[in-house]
Amino acid sequence: MTVSIILGASLAMLAVILGAFGAHALKDKFAEPKYVKNWETAVQYHMYHALGLLIIGILSMESLLGASSLLQWASYLMFGGIVFFSGSLYVLSVTGIKKLGAITPIGGLLFIVAWMCVIVAII
């Protein structure tokens, strides 16, 4: 799945940009000082799962596991996890809208299910 590799690399690049943006441009713009840690967590999980997408793409290459619907689902779920988990933390960090914290666990659940799909596809 070349798409997973391109998406993973693009999201990894975005994680680096958002990490630098948070450390420099947003340094004084966070809703509260405690939200700096939320931003850092968002960037960290964003990067981990961008790398996960790269791994899924590599595993999906014909020479390894080949095309697998489970790996395709893992890719979708991992992307959704980044959007829900990291995305909600990014917005929460700059707006202070605490209700967004209810969305974050949905992203975490998507990450867990994505990794389960990878495990089952390999087995």
Q: What are 51-102's pLDDT values in tens digits? A: 999 999 998 886 666 668 899 999 999 999 999 999 999 999 989 999 988 9
Residue 96: which region, alpha, beta or left (left: phi > 0; alpha: psi -120 to 50)? left
Question: What's the CA gap between 21 and 8, in Å, rounded?
Answer: 20
Q: Is pLDDT at 4 greater than 90 in this prediction?
A: yes
More confident of the two residues 79 and 25? 79
- Domain enclosing residue 113, as ranges: 2-122
Contact 48, 86 (CB under 8 A): no
Place of tokens 């917005």: 91
The count of domains in the chain is 1
Question: Hey, is 64 helix, strand or coil?
Answer: coil
